[in-house]
A and B are shown apart, each in its own frame.
Chain A
Amino acid sequence: MKLWLGLALLAGPLAAQSAQARLEGRVPGAAIPAVDSLVQRAYAEGLPTEPLIQKALEGGAKQVTAPRIVAAVQVSLGQLRDARDLLVHGGDEPPVTPGEVTTVAWALRRGLPGPVVQRVLVALPRPPRASAMHAVADLVAHHFDPDSGADLIIAAIGQGLVPERLLDVSAAAAHELQRGHTHAEALALVRQELPNVPASPKPTRGAVARARRPAAPTPP
């Protein structure tokens, strides 16, 4: 018991240490203590810390001033909290999966209203939901009404389309727009096609042959 307690007490500072090590030399020194404190807070709340570290690294790479980096990380922490709350209200039992929190935070950043996110969560009670969230966000990015976009994706889920293919649904709707249909027509046409929307093309042999693996990529 003492061992577990000791490990638990050590875990927080260790996470913060690893964050600090990644930030040093890449983020203005003045920002590191504040960012570090926000990372520790996120960790204590059971939230993913990687998006916060990424935001700080992004600010450092873009040569943004320390106060703006701290402010951006603070905004990111707020989005993660909102995402966690939405997941809990949507029926996920706490502690929620860090990956799902990140997914929902993405959806919010991409402009999905909270109630729309919640509808998708209810339609997909189990992870992974990233494809569904991005599919709805893609529709919203193409100026589809968020509720109508969510309706289409939820209909696709209802038709048994695997999460991976949901991005093909939003792509099909965008394609119908390019063909000159109105938003309502595009949604209706794709809904008729369900579940047989065209699949996105696989990478060609040439692309696979050309592909290079960057040094130590970091998963999202």
Chain B
Amino acid sequence: MNAIDPRIHQALDGELAPAALSAELSRVVERLVTAAALLAAPLPLASLESRVMAAIRRPVPSRARRLLRWLATPRAITFRVRPVWSLAFAAVVALLTLFPLGHEGPDIGEHEGIAQFVGRFPGAQSVHVVGSFNDWRSGSIALEDVDQDGVWRATVVLPTGAYEYMFVVDGERWVPDHLAERLVADEFGRENSIVIVRPARR
């Protein structure tokens, strides 16, 4: 084992100025000071690396679990509402509850349904639907062409059951419903259309 030069000891203890040393001894002292500084520095915690690695290796939680966690995490939500808007909102809700929209038309019974009649009669002045639901009486159920596009429509509440019918165009021309899937011979040389009315409340 080589003995350390006493001047190095003195320089490390601060008893000898580094400038008083030779260049070689000065490099040795500098290396020793650097080594001492590294030894004195605090070591990183041993568990940090393992925690980081564990976090990296941990499987990603499922989407459902993440959603559940998101839902379960308390969050603060702040509403800034002017009282006048709150009152207006409450008034609208009250009006809609008391007078619901779209509740026009007749009340439909348990044994009633809705029949929709549609026919294309361009240039017609009037179209009526006539059948066993109205004793074959022309004039009681008129179709309307609201858009003036030649397509005539009527929506009627009828007791459930099967009915035969025809359209009467301009009060004199009897025409079967070409859109009807069911037809039956009328015993007078023509065909009646058939509509089956099913209960509206199913």
Which A residues have a C-beta under 8 Å from some C-beta of B? Answer: 22, 26, 54-55, 57-62, 64, 68, 71-72, 75-76, 106, 109-110, 130, 134, 137-138, 141, 164, 167, 174, 199-200, 202-203, 205-220
User: How far apart are the CA atoms of A64 and B200 in the complex, in Å?
Assistant: 36
Q: Which of A72, A138, A211, A214 contacts B105 (CB 8 A)?
A: A211
Give A180 Cβ to nearest chain B Cβ, in Å: 18
Q: Check A207 against B116 for contact (C-beta < 8 Å).
A: yes
- Nearest first, the 3 closest Cβ-Cβ pairs linking A and B are A72-B187, A61-B136, A220-B161
Stretch in B51-59, B86-94, B150-158 touching the partner: B150-158
Closest to B131 in A: A58
Which residues of B approach A to under 8 Å, CB–CB?
102-106, 108, 113-114, 116, 130, 132-138, 140-141, 154-159, 161-164, 174, 181-188, 190, 192, 194, 196, 198-200, 202
Partner of A75, one of B161, B187, B202: B187
Report the separation of the CA atoms of residues A206 and B155 in the bound assembly, to the nearest whole angstrom: 10
Whether the pair B200, A214 counts as a contact (CB closer than 8 A) is no
Closest A residue by C-beta to B163:
A220
- Shortest beta-carbon distance, A11 to chain B, in Å? 22
Contacts of A55 in B (CB 8 A): 187
Complex CA distance for A59 and B116, rounded to whole angstroms: 24
Report chain A residues within 8 Å CB of B137.
26, 57, 61
Asked if A209 contacts B135 (CB within 8 A), the reply is no
A214: which of B113, B134, B192 is its contact (CB, 8 Å)? B134
Contact A214 B141 (CB under 8 A): yes
Please give 15 more A-B residue pairs, beta carbons under 8 A apart, in addition to A62-B136, A214-B140: A54-B132, A57-B136, A62-B188, A106-B184, A110-B194, A134-B182, A141-B181, A164-B198, A164-B199, A199-B202, A208-B200, A209-B102, A209-B104, A211-B108, A215-B140
Contact B135 A203, beta carbon cutoff 8 Å: no
User: What residues of A have a CB within 8 angstroms of the CB of B199 in the complex?
Assistant: 164
- Nearest chain A CB to B140's CB is how many angstroms away? 5
User: A213 is contacted by which of B106, B130, B181 (Cβ under 8 Å)?
Assistant: B106
Q: Judge whether B156 and A211 touch: CB under 8 Å.
A: yes
Q: Decide if A212 touches B154 in the complex (CB within 8 Å).
A: yes
In the assembled complex, which residues on chain A have CB atoms less than 8 Å from the CB atom of B105?
208-212
Residue contact B155 to A207, C-beta cutoff 8 Å: yes
